[in-house]
Structure 1
Amino acid sequence: MKTDITIYLLEDNSDDIYLFKQIVNADDSCRYITVDFASVTSLQKSLEYIIPDLLVIDLNISESLGLQTLKDVKEISQDLPIIVLTGSDETLGLQAIKLGAQDYLLKDEVSTHSLKRAISYARERSVLYAALEELAIKDKLTDLYNRAAFDHRLENFEADYVRYQRSYAAILFDINGFKLINDNYGHGVGDIILQQVAHRLKMFNRASDFICRFGGDEFLLIAPSVTCAESLTEIIENKRAIIDDKYALKSPDNELITVDVSIAIGGAIRGLDAKSPYDLVQAADKNMYADKGNKSISKCW
């Protein structure tokens, strides 16, 4: 049974489109579904509904020339593998790879064999890069995203706010009395508590939310589409109900212990409580410490 591979082709030359389709259709090992687009705008609209297996883009189209075309496509490509088509300039192709393309092909040298190789290589390389990137942005202890991932994701939420006025909230969590847990039972128990809290935050989450380990015993949640204090309070109290609990686990001496865990939570809404992403996190942090001041220290027994 043939494998179906969907390709989105960014090309505004009808002759080149015809030749490309002839070349891919000559490969009997796969069934290629090629959809062509004459502009980045039309490509973007289609990507909002159907995601292909890869993109093949001509760097020189009427609305954009050279590496700028690749930069424009990268902004909308959702990390899809990209093969660029260029004239006889191999230097431009190599520069495209440095900017994030998986491979390049010279138009005059495209054949069924070279295209098949490029497609296979681009898809494999994309999977490898995604795996390496995932390792770089994940916290090893909790398997949540790390601070670097947060910085990148915050930029995306802020871009949506600036462009579409889509409000979002930042919510900070801090485990009360976490130092006491480490002092009484050791860092091994503290690590288990962090893992269990992270697991609950990850499991009881909206698909659109972003949760990360912010540092130490602090976690941070970015919640989109939060526009008022009532909605923010509802999310905060829901998280508090999920996390505040008695956690049963084994100590390093293999003894069953119970740790009473509670968290301090503070949140803020972009546009309502803060005028910048930095101010947003600062406001959430301030509200979290105000909440911490109203809590008793966690007990261990």
Structure 2
Amino acid sequence: MTQSTLRIFHIEDDDGDARQVKRDCTKEFDTEHFTLTRVDTIDAALIALKESYYDVILLDLNLGDGRGLENLQTIKELSPDSPIVVLSGHDDTKTALDAIRGGAQEYIIKSTNNSRHLGLAILSSIERKAYERHLYQLANRDELTGLNNRRAFNNYLRPWLIRAARWQRTETIMFMDVNGFKQVNDTLGHDVGDLLLQHIATTLRAGLRASDMLARFAGDEFVVHLDAQSHESVEISARIAEKISALFEKPVLIAGHKIKTSVSIGIAFYPEHGEDTASLIKSADKAMYQAKKDNIPYVFYKNTDEV
């Protein structure tokens, strides 16, 4: 982001305070270096944030249609990637700390604010949020494939299972292993193996919907949470497993080598095959090994007492 593209979103129901913020921004950034969009209600903010992205959000905690820190939580949930600077009339340490713990990058007391203070707060909040995103990427992304890693998948799945328990829903997990990958590593080298894994990750992503969560679990293992309604989980998981298998029917050229590979897929359902993340993935993993053993594309997990 550069100054010429700085997009500021201001949520403020006091016209005087809004005019002051505009004057301060103009003084710090000059009119050609920023755009300022202002709304005066949380409802209007929610509509605007669904339609556009802003580099920073300036938020008054006390609005006519919202209440205190609830406003912050509402905005953060809708626009998690935008840094938030709270502008408050309350000179209260506890509120300020609660706001920071709640996800705000800065807390400014209106009575002590000036243009320099606001300008620095805006720029520092943007930089801090960017660093936050960088740290998140390091902790939750697989460096080789760019996919989510095991930590990210487990953190993602946990709240899905909590909601599924509450609403008595079925959740679907697919566990996949690359067939013949060790042979590629042993005969062609790890560099080719890495390129193959990148190709496989791209191919798997192409076989899924945008709402499905794909992660590299470990080595040549991948795991997926399918976004499917309970009554269609079996049908959709089978259809997607077949689609993924079809994508691997033809050999691919990797670093000058024609390589034919495929994936074995195991499918498990919450809560029937596991009531927590670890047990559900373990069931899908067992089904995957059965698919590999039977030399078929995919297998649905079966409890031993079901056979």
What is the TM-score when the length of structure 1 is the normalising length? 0.75
Q: Paired residue for 1:120?
A: 123
Query: Residue 217 of structure 2: SS of its match in structure 1?
Result: strand
Q: Paired residue for 1:295?
A: 295
Percent of matched pairs sharing the same residue: 32
| Distance of aligned partners of 1:20 and 1:165 in 2 relative to their CA distance in 1, 3 Å threshold | farther
5+ long unaligned stretches in structure 2: 297-307
* 2:16 is equivalent to residue 50 of structure 1: no
Give the superposition deviation at 1:12.
Answer: 4.9
1:151 paired residue among 144, 151, 154: 154
Distance 1:233 1:179 in 2: 27
Instruction: Give the partner amino acid of 1:152.
Output: N
1:84 paired residue among 83, 86, 98: 86
Distance 1:229 1:46 in 2: 38
| Distance of aligned partners of 1:166 and 1:23 in 2 relative to their CA distance in 1, 3 Å threshold | farther
Report if aligned partners of 1:245, 1:262 keep a CA contact under 8 Å in 2.
no
Report if aligned partners of 1:166, 1:225 keep a CA contact under 8 Å in 2.
no
User: Pairwise CA RMSD of aligned residues?
Assistant: 3.6
* 2:205 is equivalent to residue 202 of structure 1: yes
Matches within 5 A, 1:210-229: 210-225=213-228, 227-229=232-234
> How many residues are matched?
288
Report if aligned partners of 2:22, 2:36 keep a CA contact under 8 Å in 1.
no
Distance 1:31 1:73 in 2: 21
Matches within 5 A, 1:236-255: 236-249=241-254
Report if aligned partners of 2:267, 2:287 keep a CA contact under 8 Å in 1.
yes
Q: Paired residue for 1:253?
A: none
Matches within 5 A, 1:20-59: 20-21=21-22, 23-24=24-25, 27-39=30-42, 43-44=45-46, 46-59=48-61
Report if aligned partners of 1:8, 1:37 keep a CA contact under 8 Å in 2.
no
Give the superposition deviation at 1:239.
Answer: 0.7
Distance 1:91 1:23 in 2: 27
Please state which structure has a larger fraction of its residues in helix: 2
Distance 1:143 1:22 in 2: 43
Query: Residue 9 of structure 1: SS of its match in structure 2?
Result: strand
| Distance of aligned partners of 1:47 and 1:168 in 2 relative to their CA distance in 1, 3 Å threshold | farther
Distance 1:111 1:164 in 2: 49
Give CA-to-partner distance per residue, 1:212-260, whole Å, 9 cap, x none.
Answer: 111121011222135332221110011111135434445xxxxx65543
Query: Residue 260 of structure 2: SS of its match in structure 1?
Result: strand
Distance 1:57 1:263 in 2: 49
| Distance of aligned partners of 1:185 and 1:30 in 2 relative to their CA distance in 1, 3 Å threshold | closer
Report if aligned partners of 1:247, 1:258 keep a CA contact under 8 Å in 2.
yes
Give CA-to-partner distance per residue, 1:154-212, whole Å, 9 cap, x none.
Answer: 24544665788886532111023444444455544433432331232234443222221
Distance 2:193 2:33 in 1: 52
5+ long unaligned stretches in structure 1: 251-255, 297-301
Give CA-to-partner distance per residue, 1:8-34, whole Å, 9 cap, x none.
Answer: 434455554454445446653445333
Distance 1:281 1:118 in 2: 44
Distance 1:131 1:117 in 2: 21
Distance 2:169 2:16 in 1: 42
